[in-house]
Amino acid sequence: MPALGLTPIGHLETPWASPAECPRNGRKPDPRPLCRAIVAPEYRAGLDQLDSFSHLILLYWMHLSGPAPLVITPRFAAGPRGIFATRAPVRPNPIALSVVEFIGFAEPGVLLVRNLDCVSGTPLLDIKPYLPSVDAEPEASMGWLVLR
């Protein structure tokens, strides 16, 4: 398979300097800290009308992630699980996704958001509006997690 190329559109600023400091998900701690998504000047025209959405999907590259084993034992699981059946941060391609609350723009190209769980300086790959009509699946199964 050929290699793929990605170009970050900016970076994320959070209170956390290392992966060990990051919360397990962006909904903790409470109160959830205000974070910033800094979009590079050459991509800022793409932010037009973004302020009409309350929530966004941010895709980012976990650049400090370690090697990715294909089988891990999550700390809250009874046994090993395939990496693709988990939300562990170590992955063959360390792409992360967060649904964030969009507070607004601090200034042009600087988004204020809540619910991030990554280190400061993380490369931002993409921004998409969160649409509850297509992004939420209320009947979705939680797989092995319900067996806890």
Instruction: Give per-residue pLDDT as tens, 55-65.
Output: 999 999 999 88
Residues 6+ apart with CB under 8 A from 75: none
Residue 13 CA to residue 122 CA, distance in Å, equals 7
Residue 90 CA to residue 108 CA, distance in Å, equals 33
How long, in residues, is the chain? 148
For residue 25, what pLDDT is reported?
67
Residue percentage of the chain with pLDDT more than 70? 95
If you average pLDDT over residues 111-125, what whole number do you get?
Answer: 95
**Is the per-residue pLDDT at 39 higher than 80?**
yes
Chain-centre distance of CA 51, in angstroms?
19
Chain-centre distance of CA 28, in angstroms?
14
Nearest-CA neighbor of 127 among 21, 40, 1, 16?
40
Domain boundaries, the chain: 10-67+95-131
Residue percentage of the chain with pLDDT more than 90? 60
For residue 21, what pLDDT is reported?
83
Residue 42 CA to residue 112 CA, distance in Å, equals 19
If you average pLDDT over residues 97-118, what whole number do you get?
Answer: 95
How confident is residue 32, by pLDDT bands cut at 50, 70 and 90? confident
Q: What's the 3-state SS for 6-26?
A: CCCCEEEECCCCCHHHCCCCC
Global pTM reads 0.90
**Is the per-residue pLDDT at 145 higher than 90?**
no
For residue 55, what pLDDT is reported?
97
If you average pLDDT over residues 133-146, what whole number do you get?
Answer: 87
Nearest-CA neighbor of 113 among 44, 32, 19?
32
Domain 10-67+95-131: what homologous superfamily?
YaeB-like (2.40.30.70)
